[in-house]
Amino acid sequence: MPKFYELTPQERLAVLVDAGQLDQADADAYATQAALPEAVAEHLIENQIGQFSLPLGVLRDLPVNDALYQVPMVTEEPSVIAAANNGARIARLNGGITVTTMPHRVTGEVVFDGLADLAGAKAMILAREPELFAVAEQAHPSIVRRGGGLKTIEVVIIADRWLKLQLAVDPQAAMGANIVNTIAEAIGHHVGQWLNQMPLVAILANHSTALTTATVQLDPATLATAHQSGEMVAERIAAISALAEVDIDRTVTHNKGIMNGMTAAVLASGNDTRAVEAAVHAHASHTGRYLPLATWQLRDHQLVGTISLPLPVGIVGGAMNALPLVQVNQRLAHITSVETLQALIASVGLVQNLAALRALVGPGIQAGHMALQASALAMAAGATGAEIKLLTDALQSQDKTLANAKQLLNELRD
Ligand code: NDP
């Protein structure tokens, strides 16, 4: 009897239906809604029974380092791409965003627990370090041929108990998780033989200090809204940014808004959204307090916005070659290097934050949100096809509640 994971997707659905865990109509929904080639979906993950699609939109003309980029974004939240476009428009009026990146490095850690002589073990490892570079090269020769591989080793004693080898690896154009894991395990095995002990752990660290920094300088006049002068909006954005540095309720929401855009761009790039999120939130807490990822300050009558954060992403490897639209997205955004991708993701975060703060200090976030939320409400009420636009339009001047949407839909259908 084959195991569940050994079945075809159709057979897995049949098992769920036979077990009374899924009805046939829902099984048919899983079987028929497909965005990926069947073979790709089936082999990318375990226990695959269907596909889950999200809309892909584009952020137009994001001005980064003197060029305009078209950035694909994948999200289910209606207002995200509209807000990003609005933020990018303001950045364009102000000469665009300047981005710098630090060398792309991924860290691995090999940790030994309970060694009798920590200092002696550390001295021995440092003395035999060149051997470890050879072990790393043997474990992953192709990354060395590409100019990458293990670059530095630091040996650290933690809490008088653990001995850690901290490995800095250059993964070239890849995100590098698997590359680092391969190297860390080989080094762990090798050093384990010297110490006559298995390492406690030998794996990638999702923590990163290789930062991408994006800055934009805004003339307050470009921030004016229908009811507020640009100067007032700029002052209020600086004030809300300062609040985010001391009020955790604001900080978390401030950063969530930034991740709205960044995660959408990371997902469209085929990268690991969890790796980026873990690294980013660790960075937000690197002082011991959770701080805003982007800040806005008034300097010489200009509003200066800066975002600085680690972005562990790649442009090859992982699922990127398997997901057909990732290649298309890379071509649309002209992403030919990790640095370009990092620059675009950081810039998306910055303009996303700008648009959110400008709305917050001005008309509030709900006006724009609810207008865009109307289509989601129309679909939740049961509108299909052409009804969605008709009901969305009708809802603009009405109470945006599900009950009202359902009533309006009934009226439309009469
Ligand atoms: P891969 O294992 O796919 O490694 C990338 C491969 O791409 C390399 O081995 C290399 O193979 C090939 N390649 C082709 N061109 C280049 C180039 N120019 N530069 C570098 N490599 C190139 O991916 P990663 O190591 O990047 O790992 C990323 C994946 O790991 C993601 O899917 C992530 O979700 C997953 N992951 C994440 C973890 C975490 O975050 N904690 C843990 C484990 C996995 P060759 O040289 O042989 O051609």
Structure confidence at residue 393 (pLDDT): 87
**pLDDT above 70 as % of the chain:** 98
Whether the CB-CB separation of 280 and 289 falls below 8 Å is answered with no
- By DSSP bridging, strand 201-205 and strand 106-113 are antiparallel
CA distance 354 to 344: 15
CA distance 234 to 230: 6
- Summarize the confidence of residues 378-404 as an average pLDDT: 88
- Summarize the confidence of residues 292-303 as an average pLDDT: 98
Whether the CB-CB separation of 187 and 135 falls below 8 Å is answered with yes
| pLDDT range class, residue 111, cuts 50, 70, 90 | very high
Mutate to test the pocket of ligand 1, among 44, 137, 144, 146 (most ligand atoms within 8 A of CB): 146
For residues 372 and 28, which has the higher predicted lDDT (pLDDT)? 28
Q: Above 0.85 for ipTM, yes or no?
A: yes
Structure confidence at residue 368 (pLDDT): 67
Ligand 1 touching residue 182 (CB < 6 A): no
CA 181 to centroid of ligand 1, rounded, Å = 10
Structure confidence at residue 330 (pLDDT): 97
Ligand 1 touching residue 109 (CB < 6 A): no
Which burial class, exposed, middle or buried, applies to 104 when counting CB atoms under 10 A from its CB (0-12, 13-18, 19+)?
Answer: buried
Q: Please, what's the b/e burial string for 19-32 (b: 16 or more CB within 10 A of its CB; e: otherwise)?
A: eeebeeeebeebee
pLDDT of 399 > 70? The answer is: yes
Among protein residues, the one whose CA lies closest to atom 2 of ligand 1: 178
Structure confidence at residue 369 (pLDDT): 66
- Summarize the confidence of residues 341-345 as an average pLDDT: 98
Whether the CB-CB separation of 41 and 59 falls below 8 Å is answered with no
For residues 369 and 189, which has the higher predicted lDDT (pLDDT)? 189
CA 69 to centroid of ligand 1, rounded, Å = 25
pLDDT of 231 > 90? The answer is: yes
Q: Which residues contact 295 (CB under 8 A, 6 or more apart)?
A: 241, 244, 245, 305, 306
Structure confidence at residue 397 (pLDDT): 84
Among protein residues, the one whose CA lies closest to atom 12 of ligand 1: 317
Mutate to test the pocket of ligand 1, among 45, 145, 169, 175 (most ligand atoms within 8 A of CB): 175
Ligand 1 touching residue 313 (CB < 6 A): no
Ligand 1 touching residue 175 (CB < 6 A): yes
Among protein residues, the one whose CA lies closest to atom 48 of ligand 1: 142
- Condensed to tens digits (0 to 9), the pLDDT of residues 30-70 reads 999 888 999 999 999 999 999 999 999 999 999 999 999 99
CA distance 166 to 400: 54
pLDDT of 129 > 90? The answer is: yes
What are the CA-CA distances from residue 142 to residues 104, 139, 145, 179 (Å)?
17, 9, 5, 10
Structure confidence at residue 246 (pLDDT): 98
Ligand 1 touching residue 149 (CB < 6 A): no
Shortest-distance atom of ligand 1 to CA 180: 25
Q: Report the chain's mean pLDDT, rounded to a whole number.
A: 95
